[in-house]
Amino acid sequence: MDANDHDAVRVIRIDRPAKRNAIDAPTAAQLAAQLEHAVTDGVGCVILTGTGSAFCAGVDLDYLAEMGRGEADGTPIHDFNQALRELPIPVIVAVNGVAVGVGTTMCLHADLVIAGRSARFRTPFTQLGVAPEIGSSWLLPQQVGYQAAAWMLLSSDWVDADEALQRGLVFEVVADDELLGRATERAQVIAARDREAVRAAKRTMRAWRLPAIETAIATENDEFSWLLRRD
């Protein structure tokens, strides 16, 4: 896992380019640790992005299969998702290339999502035979509207950067080679503001959503478990 600072902004990169940054247990554990370090280090804003030509191709399918057979523990994924949704400092997701599965659903827990022109989003749960994850069954309709969310979650179809912008899934779209620079500009503006006031603003915006997200996650986990283990 790669992390570096630009003044008070920390850039954290998902770093499995050979696997299109698909998340396995070690990667999830490293991401959770990096988010926690950002808090303890007093960082003003976090940028989460991917290494190479993809943002995140979802949960590693081998890891997913091992969890389905009861051979792998899903705790690292749970810990990463919890660290992301409970992060007290602002997080900007900079989507470079494809964002599949958790690559899309983690965007719903960001404060801002900035996408490169080549970004594409997909929630392939119905194609994979599993349920939505990490609160996306509630968060996605809140963010893009019920019917657009229903299409994404029921069809498993792709959404390109322009449609994502139109629907409100992303804040802005920029040229691929301008993505990290633009995300850093936005992050530096936030990081320059009063830190406690920024955290308070995030808390107040998130407070009313947390109970609904937790309820959605519990429901999703119940559905996910039996679908993953069925014959």
Please report whether residue 187 resides in a domain: no
Q: Are 13 and 6 in contact (CB under 8 A)?
A: no
* pLDDT for the residue numbered 14: 97
Would you say residue 66 has pLDDT above 90?
A: no
Rounded Cα–Cα distance for residues 3 and 219 (Å): 34
Instruction: Write the CB contacts of 7 (distance below 8 Å, at least 6 apart in sequence).
Output: 188, 191
Rounded Cα–Cα distance for residues 124 and 103 (Å): 11
CATH number, domain with residue 63: 3.90.226.10
- pLDDT-derived band of residue 75, with 50, 70 and 90 as boundaries? confident
Span 143-202, pLDDT tens digits: 999 999 999 999 999 999 999 999 999 999 999 999 999 999 999 999 999 999 999 999
- pLDDT-derived band of residue 70, with 50, 70 and 90 as boundaries? confident
Range of the domain at 19: 2-177+194-229
Rounded Cα–Cα distance for residues 197 and 190 (Å): 11
Span 76-123, pLDDT tens digits: 998 999 999 999 999 999 999 999 999 999 999 999 999 999 999 999
Comparing 5-9, 17-21, 129-133, 137-141, which segment has the lowest mean pLDDT?
A: 5-9
Q: How many domains does the chain have?
A: 1
* pLDDT for the residue numbered 41: 95
- pLDDT-derived band of residue 7, with 50, 70 and 90 as boundaries? confident
Strand partners, 118: none
Please report whether residue 189 resides in a domain: no
Please report whether residue 186 resides in a domain: no
Span 40-51, pLDDT tens digits: 999 999 999 999
Predicted TM-score (pTM) above 0.85: yes
Please report whether residue 144 resides in a domain: yes
Residue carrying the six token digits 């119940």? 222
According to DSSP, the β-strands at 112-116 and 91-95 are: parallel
Q: CA quadruple 32, 34, 37, 42: dihedral positive or negative? A: negative
Please report whether residue 171 resides in a domain: yes
Please report whether residue 61 resides in a domain: yes
Please report whether residue 104 resides in a domain: yes
